[in-house]
Amino acid sequence: MKRTMMMLLLTLLSMGVYAQHDHDNMAGHGEEMQMSPKFKDKDLGAAYEHYLLVKDALVASNDAKAAKHSMKLEKTLAKVENAETARKEASQMAGATSLEDQRDNFNALSDAMLKLVKNGKLAKGEIYLEYCPMANSNKGGYWLSNEKAIKNPYMGQKMLKCGSVKETIN
């Protein structure tokens, strides 16, 4: 009888151990998935993706990556209709010699990209226009994002979450 009870106990314990499984790979279940917006104009979509890489480089305070992605953005914008202003701003950002200069130029680039995005007709998805009142020496600054979560390209890690969503473009 002792042997039967011991076997039953071991069986139950082993079932409990095997019933546990890893939940780490289930990240995102139950959360709203962020979808990259799709544009009717594929060249504009490619330019927007490069813009996001510039923004992300500024969030990370990586001036080398910001310059590299600004150059790629400038080349991509050459294929986009009515993108002369945005292309000029991307060129100025690529040539900026400091992170501060890049962040100053990013405001004008974001304004130009906003006009292109609004005229570019999204096929699906949403883009968020975000704003930080403290950017540009408290004059404020806008940027575009695929996420509602604020990641401030003007302040970097100093004030990463400073800002708010001002408009949803769809």
Is the pLDDT reported for residue 91 higher than 90?
yes
Give the list of residues 6+ apart from residue 119 with CB closer than 8 angstroms, or none: 82
Can you give the pLDDT at residue 139?
A: 94
Higher model confidence: residue 34 or residue 61? 61
Whole-number average pLDDT of the chain: 85
Can you give the pLDDT at residue 25?
A: 42
Is the pLDDT reported for residue 148 higher than 90?
yes
pLDDT interval class at 158 (50, 70, 90): confident
The two beta strands, 141-145 and 127-132, are antiparallel
* Residue 50 to residue 110: CA distance in whole angstroms: 12
Is the pLDDT reported for residue 33 higher than 90?
no
At which residue do the structure tokens 């996420």 appear?
147
pLDDT interval class at 134 (50, 70, 90): very high
Is the pLDDT reported for residue 54 higher than 60?
yes
* Window from 15-29, 37-51, 78-92, 117-131 with minimum mean pLDDT: 15-29
* Residue 87 to residue 77: CA distance in whole angstroms: 6
> Quick one: angle between helices 84-95 and 42-59, nearest 10?
30
Residue spans per domain, the chain: 38-169
Can you give the pLDDT at residue 165?
A: 97
